[in-house]
Structure 1
Amino acid sequence: MTEPLVTQLRFTRSELARCLQGVSAEDAQRRLKPMNSISWLVGHLASQEQFLWLERAQGTILSPELYRLVG
C-alpha cells in the first residue's frame, strides 16, 4: 500500500502538470512582479522535493546546483 504522503505528492504533481498544460516556455519564464516566474516556482518546488524526499530522507542529491539556482 502506498503511503498517504506519497499519494498526496503524486496528486499534487499531476495537478501542477495539468495546470501548466498550454503554458509556453516563453510565458513560463516571464516574471510578473512582485511574483516570481512559473519556471522559478517549479524549480523551487523541485528543490524542496529534492531536499525533503531525497537528501533528508535518503541521503541522495540528484541535482547539486538546484538549490543554488532556485533556493
Structure 2
Amino acid sequence: MKIIEDLTKQTTQQQIKDTIDTKASATTDGANNYNDIKDHLEDHNAVIIKDKSKTSEILPWVHIAISNAKRLLLDIYHSH
C-alpha cells in the first residue's frame, strides 16, 4: 500500500506506470481513474458491483489488507 496525493486519473496512471509491471494483471473497481489502465497492463478486469455486500468476494485480499492495516493502527493509537 502507498499513500498518494489524490485519486485523479493522472496520479493513478503515473503510479501504475511507476510501480506495476506491464505484464501484470489487475482487477479494479469501475472508477473512472482506471479507464486507461489497459494501456499499461496486459490484463485489466474492471468489476462493477451493484450489491456492495459482495465486494469482499471479488477482491478478498484487498479487504483483508485494509482490515489488517486498520487493526494495526487502532492497536498502535488506541490510547491517544
Same-fold call, TM cutoff 0.5: no
| TM-score, normalised with respect to structure 2 | 0.30
Query: Which of the pair is proportionally richer in helix?
Result: 1
Larger RCO (CA under 8 A, 6+ residues apart): 2
Structure of greater Rg: 2
| TM-score, normalised with respect to structure 1 | 0.32
Query: Which of the pair is proportionally richer in strand?
Result: 2
